[in-house]
């Protein structure tokens, strides 16, 4: 098998071979160009704290230690802000040797500040699944800004499969940028493609949103339903700087527009912890075709989910806040992001999750 991230056709092949197992048949759109959406099962366990199973230990044995109560999700249930839940997923794995997997939150999940991670039996890391893993998958969910209403089958996480080493070294990334511009403006390449924050928009002074602290429940099935003003405070500036408040959650946007060519995928990662008291609460994957052939020039801009930590921090226009780590695809996907699939964020600028309506 060619090394790289497995495309949609090879994910389908894993399903056919039983390497991916499902409690319920897949639904339309669950297989993305370079990932598989994972679905919530029928029960949620409220737990005392986040945990990892630990080497040679099943998750079920740890649940006996940490479970507070369990909730039936069949008719919908509210996951409360600040609480931690564990939800068995409808998908499980029987990976062959040589195939690893990594999970991450979907874009809309990240934009709602839902800390959502996958854990496995015997797991010692969140979201990382070793080759040859046979067993169930669980989503750990901690709503940090808003309480949410969930039901079985909802898709908060996605999983990507790899064969061998797929990450591009900086030299290869620069060569790719020389062949096909990956970013508008200068390419800052250092363990990935750096991107900065836009706090001086071309028009107006709206640069982002800050989550309000006391809001209602968000039903994750309701699209374009909630007035943004009930959940978000607009952040405006004309001097290219804002002060991040400790514990607050922000939606901002990158200054650069980026492109993911069809034969590559990418993952958003934080820059350096040493540059400030904040981090990009990265949602995760950029599929092949993101920003590719976008109208008006190079790429689409990346939405940044930012949380400030210990002390107030001044964030300034053009400050580098994260990086895109590019990976080779094992083969070109049959369908690209934004081409024939429901891609909510292709060609995006500053944009809240799909649940909100602005204005």
Tell me the CATH number at 53.
2.70.40.10
pLDDT for position 346:
46
The number of folded domains in the chain is: 2
3-state secondary structure of 152: coil
Contact in structure between 309 and 277 (CB atoms under 8 Å): yes
What tens-digit pLDDT sequence spans the chain (359 residues)?
689 999 999 999 999 999 999 999 999 999 999 999 999 999 999 999 999 999 999 999 999 999 999 999 999 999 999 999 999 999 999 999 999 999 999 988 999 999 999 999 999 999 999 999 999 999 999 999 999 999 999 999 999 999 998 899 999 999 999 998 899 888 989 889 988 999 999 999 999 999 999 999 999 999 999 999 999 999 999 999 999 999 899 999 999 999 999 999 999 876 555 455 567 765 578 999 988 765 555 678 888 999 888 789 899 999 988 889 999 999 999 988 765 544 444 446 789 999 999 87
- Together in a domain, 155 and 188: no
Contact in structure between 41 and 23 (CB atoms under 8 Å): yes
- Together in a domain, 154 and 203: no
- Together in a domain, 174 and 159: no
Q: ∠197-202-204 over CA atoms, to 5°?
A: 100
Looking at 131, 163, 195, the residue that finishes a domain is 163
- Together in a domain, 130 and 175: no
- Together in a domain, 143 and 175: no
Give exposure, 83-112, as e/b (b: 16+ Cβ within 10 Å): ebbbbbbbbbbebeeebbbbbbbbbbbbbb
- Together in a domain, 190 and 326: yes
Q: Beta strand pairing status for 128-129 and 99-105?
A: antiparallel
3-state secondary structure of 66: helix
- Together in a domain, 223 and 302: yes
- Together in a domain, 249 and 342: yes
Looking at 163, 183, 209, the residue that finishes a domain is 163
Helices in the chain by DSSP H: which ranges? 8-17, 59-66, 107-111, 170-179
The pTM of the full predicted model, rounded to 2 decimals, is: 0.92
Helices in 139-205 by DSSP H: which ranges? 170-179
- Together in a domain, 185 and 148: no
- Together in a domain, 243 and 143: no
The range of the structural domain enclosing residue 83 comes to: 4-163
Query: Residues 46-88: pLDDT tens digits?
Result: 999 999 999 999 999 999 999 999 999 999 999 999 999 999 9
- Together in a domain, 335 and 215: yes
Looking at 163, 194, 222, the residue that finishes a domain is 163
Task: Record the tokens describing residue 13, joined without a space.
Answer: 């092949």
Contact in structure between 267 and 285 (CB atoms under 8 Å): yes
- Together in a domain, 59 and 194: no
Quote the CA–CA distance of 173 and 120 in Å, as a whole number: 32
């Amino acid at each position: 098998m060619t090394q790289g991230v497995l495309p949609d056709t090879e994910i389908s092949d894993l399903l056919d071979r039983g390497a991916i197992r499902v409690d319920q048949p897949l639904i339309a759109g669950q297989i993305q160009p370079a990932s598989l959406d994972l679905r919530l099962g029928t029960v949620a366990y409220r737990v005392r704290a986040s945990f990892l199973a630990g080497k040679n230990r099943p998750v079920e044995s740890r649940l006996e230690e940490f479970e507070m109560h369990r909730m039936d999700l069949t008719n919908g249930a509210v996951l409360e802000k600040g609480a931690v839940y564990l939800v068995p997923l409808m998908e499980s794995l029987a990976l062959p040797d040589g195939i690893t997997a990594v999970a991450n939150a979907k874009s809309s999940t990240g934009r709602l500040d839902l800390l959502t991670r996958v854990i496995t039996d015997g797991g010692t890391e969140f979201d990382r699944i070793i080759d040859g893993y046979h067993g169930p998958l669980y989503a750990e969910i901690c709503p940090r800004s808003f309480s949410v209403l969930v039901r079985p089958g909802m898709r908060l996480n996605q999983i990507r499969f790899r064969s061998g080493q797929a990450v591009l070294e900086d030299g290869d990334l620069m060569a790719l940028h020389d062949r096909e511009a990956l970013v508008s403006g200068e390419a800052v390449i250092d363990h990935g493609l750096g991107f900065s924050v836009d706090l001086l928009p071309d028009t107006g002074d709206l640069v982002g949103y800050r989550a309000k602290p006391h809001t209602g429940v968000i039903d994750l099935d309701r699209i374009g339903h909630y007035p943004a003003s009930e959940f978000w405070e607009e952040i405006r500036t004309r001097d290219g700087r804002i002060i991040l408040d400790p514990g607050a959650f922000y939606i901002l946007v990158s200054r650069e527009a980026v492109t993911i060519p069809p034969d590559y995928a990418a993952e958003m990662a934080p820059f350096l912890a040493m540059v400030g008291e904040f981090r990009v609460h990265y949602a995760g994957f950029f599929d092949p075709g993101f920003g590719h052939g976008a109208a008006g020039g190079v790429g689409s801009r990346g939405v940044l989910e930012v949380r400030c930590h210990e002390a107030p921090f001044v964030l300034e226009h053009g400050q580098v806040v994260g990086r895109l780590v590019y990976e080779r695809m094992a083969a070109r996907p049959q369908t690209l992001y934004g081409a024939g699939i429901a891609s909510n964020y292709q060609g995006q600028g500053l944009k809240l999750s799909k649940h909100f309506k602005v204005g």
